[in-house]
Structure 1
């Protein structure tokens, strides 16, 4: 789905969560969680949209209106070590969708 479709799904209350997923190389991809499935957000060319930062992602989603949670997700790398848990654990931290820019404060 593209950003316009994502906006419609959020407005309809169909999106449970939005994830900014950290990728190797420092970029992020945006996924929407709908019906317990993760749907990547694509650009105008139908390719998975990559964003350089959380702030860029917020700017991309600035027109989203609705009750949806945003999470920063950092997948764990699987380590094959004796005695380690065989299930990789990802980090999933809630962040505000429409937060202040870096350095700005609410007074």
Structure 2
């Protein structure tokens, strides 16, 4: 149940900007510096940041504003952004296809 999110990715060295086809926060942006900060915010943006911190290594900060998610990494990921893209795409999917 739930729909996949479409993600457009822009890479700028250690910063990756994800443009989503739906909003995950209000117009006021929010920055998360670590997993503990994200765990204290019960809204959608806090839960998304928490999931990204849990599933992805080397994240320095996450900034979420409306349909834009900006992730700053501790290292340059090169072309390997598929892990983060998959987390974002599946964020609103509550359970997978039945087998």
Structure having greater relative contact order (Cα 8 Å, sep ≥ 6)? 2
Does TM-score exceed 0.5, indicating one fold? Answer: no
TM-score (norm 2): 0.27
TM-score (norm 1): 0.26
Over alpha carbons, which structure has the higher Rg?
A: 1
- Greater fraction of residues in helix: 2
